[in-house]
């Protein structure tokens, strides 16, 4: 479908490193960023921080890029409701460099199509179906949240005491 078209103007594609092998303990070595793994009988899930995950899967989040690809966008974040699945399947079939991702739960995105969910995304990077984002378990998330709350409380205190 896209064939010889130039890349989306202003878009810089990131190339993901090859998927690292998982050792017997379920650990993944990565020089690119924080990564942990847990093994299960049915699959292996890799939990990565949000920036690393989006870079690795090359999430198409720009509504301008989605419109350039021929989609009528309904959200600024680049998500598609389940009723648009036929359109996404047709696009990914015609353009095999793209694939679907799925919001499977709050804070969790699977790098594959999962039937029966409400929101889907488009990506064009690493298609490894074992990649899963769960930014709610990112260890730094609690520290960032605490820092933001402390800053907000300090500002409120300054307002209440008349210092600002």
| H helix intervals, 2-118 | 50-57, 63-68, 85-94
pLDDT for residue 37 is more than 60? no
Output the DSSP codes for 112-164: S--TT-SEEEEE-S---TTEEEEGGG-HHHHHHHHHHHHHHHHHHHHHHHT--
> Which pTM was predicted?
0.61
Which comes out higher in pLDDT, residue 3 or 92? 92
Q: What is the pLDDT of residues 82-113, one digit of tens each?
A: 999 999 999 999 999 999 999 998 878 999 99
| CA–CA gap between residue 25 and residue 22 (Å, rounded) | 8
How confident is the model over 70-87, as a mean pLDDT? 88
Annotated domain spans of the chain: 35-136
The pLDDT of residue 164: 63
What's the chain's average pLDDT?
77
- pLDDT confidence tier of residue 163, bands split at 50, 70 and 90: confident
How confident is the model over 125-143, as a mean pLDDT? 82
Which comes out higher in pLDDT, residue 30 or 149? 149
**Most confident among 34-48, 49-63, 108-122 (mean pLDDT):** 108-122
How many CB atoms neighbour CB 113 within 10 A? 16
The pLDDT of residue 142: 76
């Amino acid at each position: 479908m896209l064939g010889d078209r130039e890349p989306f103007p202003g878009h810089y594609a990131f190339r993901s490193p090859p998927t690292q092998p998982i050792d017997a303990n379920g650990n993944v070595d990565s020089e690119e960023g924080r990564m942990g793994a847990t093994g299960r009988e049915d699959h292996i899930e890799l939990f990565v921080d949000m920036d690393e995950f989006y870079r690795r899967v090359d999430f198409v989040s720009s509504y301008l890029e989605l419109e350039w690809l021929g989609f009528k966008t309904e959200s600024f974040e680049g998500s598609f409701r389940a009723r648009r699945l036929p359109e996404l399947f047709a696009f990914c079939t015609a353009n095999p460099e793209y694939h679907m991702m799925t919001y499977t739960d709050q804070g969790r995105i699977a790098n594959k199509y999962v039937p029966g969910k409400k929101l889907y995304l488009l990506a064009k990077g690493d298609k490894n179906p074992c990649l899963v984002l769960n930014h709610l378990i990112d260890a730094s998330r609690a520290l960032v949240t605490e820092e933001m709350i402390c800053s907000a409380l300090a500002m409120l205190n300054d307002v209440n005491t008349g210092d600002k």
